[in-house]
Amino acid sequence: MSVSVFALWLGNFTMSYTFPWLNKIFGMSKMFLFYALLNVAGFIFVLLVLPETKGKSLEQIECEFID
């Protein structure tokens, strides 16, 4: 749980820090397009790299990560 909270805080900090800077450089529309493309890249990463764990026991999931 603490790792996910840390990742959330890190993402919030990064977005809050880069928002004014990117808005000044690229403008509002290109900045939101950039953030949208980052979200699409993250979604594709989750679909292609992370394994599906629905309906599996902890032992089965553990075996997948060990192999």
Domain count for the chain: 1
Q: Which pLDDT tens digit goes with each residue over 18-53? A: 899 989 999 999 999 998 999 999 999 999 998 888
Q: By mean pLDDT, which of 4-18, 32-46, 49-63 is the weakest?
A: 49-63
Q: Please give the residue range of the domain that contains residue 33.
A: 2-66
Residues 6+ apart with CB under 8 A from 62: none
Mean pLDDT on 1-14: 93
Mean pLDDT on 4-13: 95
Interatomic CA distance for residues 32 and 34, integer angstroms: 5
Is residue 51 within 8 Å of residue 66, measured between CB atoms? no
pTM of the full predicted structure? Answer: 0.67
Question: In this predicted structure, what is the pLDDT of residue 10?
Answer: 96
Residue type, 3: V
Question: In this predicted structure, what is the pLDDT of residue 65?
Answer: 83
